[in-house]
Amino acid sequence: MSRFWNDRVRSLSPYVPGEQPKDKRYIKLNTNENPYPPSPKTLEAIQRAANGDLRLYPDPTAQGLRQVIAERYGTSVDRVFVGNGSDEILAFAFAAFFGSRRSSDASDSPVLPLLFPDITYSFYPVYAQLWKVPCQTVPLMDDFSLRFRDYLVPCGGVVFPNPNAPTGRALDVEEVLSIVEYQEKRSTVVLVDEAYVDFGAQSARSAVSRYANLLTVHTLSKASSLAGLRVGFAIGQEELIEGLRRIRDSFNSYTLDRLALAGAEAALSDGAYYDEVNRRLVRTRDRSAEALRRLGFIVVPSLANFLFVRHPKREGAELFQILRDRGILVRYFKKERIDQYLRISVGTDEEMDTLLRVCEELV
């Protein structure tokens, strides 16, 4: 604590990102980055954009990038918002849509809590704390599946990743839309964080035209191999997009720089490359899951680019440390219900083979 901090900063417990160590070269399976590089066309576009125009501010409306996204996903430019990583969009959405009464509510009615799963992306409680959004966690089932019926209750908002992180389990789009439909009647926003949707799950984004309360949030960090560029986008009807814009323009109008705009446009126009890369990744995931099961691991069924696993005979924390000592970084969460689990990002075939060899020795 510092005497210079105000009450707001004193009260925070910030998010702790997965480590990016510099001490030696690890097989890095801890932050769900794509093991394959961005496409050659993406890299060329970024290199081309590194020119004298960098003295000029970027387009604050990101018109070109939003156009590419709108075309690719069959929506209109006015229904697309872009941000400096999807984390930024999540932060804006919490600020814009959650934690207050609706204009239609009585002024003395309580603020209803935002709902999210007890085991989920650990940034949600951090944003809730930052913006003072009352929230309530909803326990996942014992097998870590999310029961959509638990979200058919009056509340101040709903947010969850689909597929969920760090479990990798996904809901069918019909289940997602049951939540959206129930909450639409109560003017409650449902935010579906689709960071991992391109690894085999069903996206809800095409339902945005039917539901004014649905915001789907996407990132180029995972399926587009661009975690280092920081680009995310959201799809929602104009009212929600305008809400996000009002927050952004009260904060920082130029959230995406010229290189990010150029790289993101090129990546989203080069779908064939990324589809191929991610098909390969999915094959590696499924094969690795099978191999881990044969070694006695419990592997949660995953539609994401990571596996959530535990071994009945080895402590999670111990496995994490041994793997780390052997040069393989995975993610371990010291948290109730999941402290025996490891989250393993899917790497290249070669990286996964090394992981499997070490696991075989250990168990």
- Report the interface residues with ligand PLP, using CB under 6 A: 32, 85-87, 121, 161, 165, 193, 195, 219, 221, 227, 232
Q: For residue 164, what is the DSSP state?
A: -
Nearest to 341 by CA among 315, 304, 360, 362: 315
DSSP 188-243: --EEEE-TTGGGT----GGGGGT-TTEEEEEESSSTTS-TTT--EEEE--HHHHHH
Residues linked to residue 83 through DSSP beta bridges, in sequence order: 232
Closest approach of Cβ 232 to ligand PLP, in Å?
Answer: 4
Q: Which is nearer to ligand PLP, 32 or 278 (CB)?
A: 32
CA distance 223 to 53: 29
Nearer to ligand PLP among residue 167 and residue 311 (C-beta): 167
Of 168 and 316, the one with the shorter C-beta distance to ligand PLP is 168
Residue 110 neighbours by CB under 8 Å, 6+ apart: none
Three-class SS of residue 356? helix
Using only C-alpha atoms, the chain has a radius of gyration, in whole angstroms, of: 21
Residue (165 or 177) nearer to ligand PLP, CB? 165
Minimum separation from the CB atom of position 86 to ligand PLP (A): 4
Q: Find the shortest distance in angstroms from Cβ 227 to ligand PLP.
A: 6
Of 145 and 209, the one with the shorter C-beta distance to ligand PLP is: 145
Shortest distance in whole angstroms from residue 304 CB to ligand PLP? 8
Nearer to ligand PLP, 121 or 151 (CB): 121
When CB distances to ligand PLP are compared, the closest residue is 85
Instruction: Quote the least distance from Cβ 38 to ligand PLP, whole Å.
Output: 14
CB of 83 to ligand PLP, least distance (A): 8
Which residue type does 84 have? N
- Which amino acid is residue 271, in one-letter code? G
Cβ-contact 102, 122 below 8 angstroms: no
C-alpha closest to that of 348 among 27, 43, 38, 39: 27
